[in-house]
Amino acid sequence: MSILSTRKADKIDSLAEGGTSLAMDALRRTFRSPVAILGLVIVGLFVILAIISPFVAPKDPYRPYPELKAELTPSNIPGPMPGFLLGSDQNGYDFFSRLLVGAQQTLFVGVFATLIGVTIGMIIGGLAGAFGGWVDSLLMRLTDIMLSIPSLLLAISIAALMPGSQWTVIIAVAMIGVPVFARLLRGAMMAQRSSDHVLAATALGVKRRTIVFRHMLPNSIGPVIVQATLTLATAIIDAAALSFLGLGDSDWRRAEWGLMLGNAQELLSVKPSLAFFPAIAIIVVALGFTLLGESMRESLDPKNRR
C-alpha cells in the first residue's frame, strides 16, 4: 500500500512539472539503480585519474631510475621500496607512476577508437537511412560483410597490415565498431522515415536535407550514444588484446595498460604484479563502462519504461 501510494505521488509530481521528455525520464530512471551509480562512479574516477595523472604521478613514468636499475637483473625485478610504491618494471621505470599515467593513454585509445568508429558508422548508416533504395542496400551489404568477419580477427588483420603505432591500434579497434553503429543508426532512421512527424514535415514542403538533419537524425541518435558507451568498454579490451598479441604500439615505453600487460607476459614468473595491476585496471574500467552503458540502454528501452 505504501509503495503504491509513493509511486502514485511520484507520478503526480512528474505530471505537475508538465511532463518529462523520454531522455530526461530515462536519465532519472538510470540513476535510480545502484548498478548505474556504481558504473558512473568507476567511469568518473577513471576519467578524473586520466586527466590528473600526469600531475599527481610521484615519478616520471618515461625515465629509468638508477636506484631501480641498480637492482634490476633478468631474474629479479625490484619490488616496493621507499619512493617507489610498486617498485620497478622490467626497464627500471617507476611502475606505480606508469600505472597512473596508463589511465590517460588507455582512455585516449578507447575514446578515439570509439569516436572514429561512431563517425564512420554514422556516415554509412546515415546515408543508408537518408537515401534508402539501392544506396541502403549497397551500404548495408557492405556492413554485413564487415559483421561476418569475427571482430577481433578483423582488428588483427588491420593491425597486421599497418605499421605498429598507437593510431594503428585505434583504427583497427574503430573498424570493429563501424558496422554496429552503421546498422544501429540506419535502423533508427528507417523508423523515423515512416514516422508521422516526418510525414508532416514533408507535407509542409520542408527540404529533404532539413528533414534528414533536423527531423530524422536527432530522433535517431539515442541508441547510438548508448552503444558508444558500451563500445568504449570493448574498445579498451580489444586495444589491450591487440597490444597483448604484439600487434599494438611498437613504442614499448608508452605507458598504456594493454601494452604494459603485453610486455609483462614473459615476466609472469619473475614479477606477476607487472601483469596483474594493468589487467585489473582494464577489467574494472571495462566493467564500469559496461554497467553504465547497460543501465542506460535498459532505461531508454521503452519496454522497460514504468
Partner 1 sequence: MALLDVRDLSVVFKRKGTRPFTAVDGVSFSVEPGQTVGLVGESGSGKSVTSLAIMGLLRKRGAEIGGSVTFEDTELLTLSDKQLRDRRGRDLGMVFQDPLSSLNPVITIGLQITEVLERHRGMSRKEARVEAAELLDRVGLPDPQRRIDEYPHQLSGGMRQRVLIAIALACRPKLLIADEPTTALDVTIQAQILSLLSELVSETDTALIMITHDLGIVAGLCDDVNVMYGGRIVERAQRHDLFDRSRHPYTHGLLQSIPRLDAPRGEPLTPIRGSVSDNIEWEQGCAFAPRCPNATDVCWSEPPELKADDGRMLRCHNPVAIGDAVTEGAL
Residues 213-272 touching partner 1, rule: CB under 8 A, are 214-215, 218-219
Of the candidates 206, 225, 245, 270, which one interacts with partner 1 according to CB under 8 A? Answer: 206
Work out how close the CB of 21 gets to partner 1 at its nearest, in angstroms, rounded to a whole number: 6
- 15 makes contact with partner 1 (CB under 8 A): no
Work out how close the CB of 302 gets to partner 1 at its nearest, in angstroms, rounded to a whole number: 13
Q: What residue has cell string 614499448?
A: 252
Nearer to partner 1, 21 or 75 (CB): 21
Nearer to partner 1, 192 or 234 (CB): 192
Grid coordinates given for 66? 638508477
Q: Positive or negative CA dihedral for 92, 94, 99, 102? A: negative
Site string for partner 1, 56-75 (x = CB under 8 A): --------------------
Grid coordinates given for 119? 563517425
Nearer to partner 1, 7 or 208 (CB): 208
- 305 makes contact with partner 1 (CB under 8 A): no
- Contact indicator for 222, 300 with CB cutoff of 8 Å: yes
Grid coordinates given for 43? 567511469
Query: Dmax over Cα atoms in the chain, in whole Å?
Result: 79
Which helix (H) or strand (E) covers residue 64, if one does? none
Nearer to partner 1, 7 or 197 (CB): 197
Nearer to partner 1, 13 or 196 (CB): 196
Kindly report the number of other CB atoms within 10 A of residue 1's CB atom.
Answer: 5
Distance of CA 97 to the CA centre of its chain: 23
Nearer to partner 1, 22 or 153 (CB): 22
Kindly report the number of other CB atoms within 10 A of residue 27's CB atom.
Answer: 16
The one segment of 59-67, 161-169, 172-180, 208-216 that binds partner 1 by CB under 8 A: 208-216
Three-state SS at 81: strand
Round to whole Å and give the CA distance between 131 and 194: 13
- 208 makes contact with partner 1 (CB under 8 A): yes
- Contact indicator for 262, 243 with CB cutoff of 8 Å: yes
Residues 175-204 touching partner 1, rule: CB under 8 A, are 195-197, 199-204
**List of residues contacting partner 1 (CB under 8 A):** 18-22, 195-197, 199-208, 210, 214-215, 218-219
